[in-house]
Amino acid sequence: MIEAMKLHDDMIRGLTVANEGYEVKQNGDGFTIAFATATSAVQFCLDVQEKLLDEHWPKEILKLPPGQETKDPEGHVLFRGLQLRMSAHWGEPVSKWNEVIQRMDYLARWSIGPLDSF
């Protein structure tokens, strides 16, 4: 599982950079990442979900029922390896300098509205 978590973390960090995101913090297996636009945040989520299917997961992960390859009736791969839950929030960020970690921290003041407001 340690190898799978390293693959997960490397994937998240690589795609964060590729989508011009900023890693605010990591809490266990979860990340808080800030993006300049909602479009970048959604693209990041899509990129991660696609990359999950192509990752070279350890055999131990692929043998477990939740990690086994699952296909739809047409043969398209739906799940393979780790599965991640993701969400994107939109709104004006509240940020401040964090003396402990020596970087910017973003606080939770999010404005989430109906999809048609985007």
pLDDT in tens, 41-94: 999 999 999 999 999 999 999 999 999 999 999 999 999 999 998 988 877 777
Q: What is the mean pLDDT of residues 27-41?
A: 90
In the chain, the amino acid numbered 22 is: Y
Which CA distances in Å does 50 have to 11, 79, 81? 11, 10, 12
Give the pLDDT band of residue 27 (cuts 50, 70, 90).
Answer: confident
Return the amino acid letter for 104. M
Tell me the domain boundaries of the chain.
2-111
Spatial separation of the C-alpha atoms in residues 96 and 99, rounded to whole Å:
9
Mean pLDDT across the chain: 87
Could you say which of 3.40.50.11270, 3.30.70.1230, 3.30.2350.10, 1.20.1250.20 is the CATH number of the domain covering 2-111?
3.30.70.1230
Token pair for residue 13?
């960090």
Look at residue 114 in the predicted model and tell me its pLDDT.
Answer: 44
User: What is this structure's pTM?
Assistant: 0.81
